[in-house]
């Protein structure tokens, strides 16, 4: 039981750090868009705004909260014309996928205590 608790605590700490890093990547994307005055079509703007809201309010988020971001990510992916912005987005998505897998693992560990 102690080993399981340590594993859960260690994984939770890693996930929290990865979420912070991913949120920072997202903020960098928004800053890049604003700094370079990149125009986004209305539907892309709406999806980005929804993600901004979600990232601003993620303090007490659970696993479902992060998985619910997927619909906005799915819509946005592949829509950026700017190569640098597209690369930033791809790295952000990879980060999201990595911590989501860890969230699933954590959820599994918690269910089997």
Q: In the block, which residue shows the tokens 């597209």?
A: 86
Q: Which two tokens stand for residue 60?
A: 């007490």
Asked whether the beta carbons of 96 and 80 are under 8 A apart, the reply is no
Q: Which two tokens stand for residue 55?
A: 């990232």
Q: What whole-number distance in Å separates Cα of residue 3 and Cα of residue 20?
A: 26
Q: What whole-number distance in Å separates Cα of residue 2 and Cα of residue 16?
A: 21
pLDDT of residue 1: 67
pTM of the entire structure?
0.91
Counting Cβ atoms within 10 Å, is residue 96 exposed (0-12), middle (13-18) or buried (19+)? buried
Q: What whole-number distance in Å separates Cα of residue 60 and Cα of residue 31?
A: 25
Report the chain's mean pLDDT, rounded to a whole number. Answer: 94
Give per-residue pLDDT as tens, 98-111: 999 999 999 999 99
Residue 78 has pLDDT above 80, yes or no: yes
Tell me the HSE value of 113 on the side-chain side, using a 13 A CA sphere.
Answer: 14
Residue 64 has pLDDT above 80, yes or no: yes
Asked whether the beta carbons of 17 and 83 are under 8 A apart, the reply is no
Domains in the chain: boundaries: 2-111
């Amino acid at each position: 039981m102690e080993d399981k608790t340590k594993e859960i605590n260690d994984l939770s700490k890693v996930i929290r750090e990865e979420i912070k890093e991913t949120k920072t990547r997202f903020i960098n994307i928004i800053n890049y868009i604003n700094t370079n005055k990149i125009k986004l079509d209305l539907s892309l703007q709406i999806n980005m705004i929804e993600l901004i809201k979600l990232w601003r309010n993620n303090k007490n988020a659970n696993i479902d909260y992060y998985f619910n971001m997927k619909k906005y990510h799915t819509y946005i992916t592949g829509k950026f014309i700017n190569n640098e912005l597209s690369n930033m987005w791809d790295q952000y998505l990879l980060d999201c996928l990595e911590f989501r897998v860890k969230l699933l693992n954590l959820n599994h560990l918690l269910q089997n205590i």
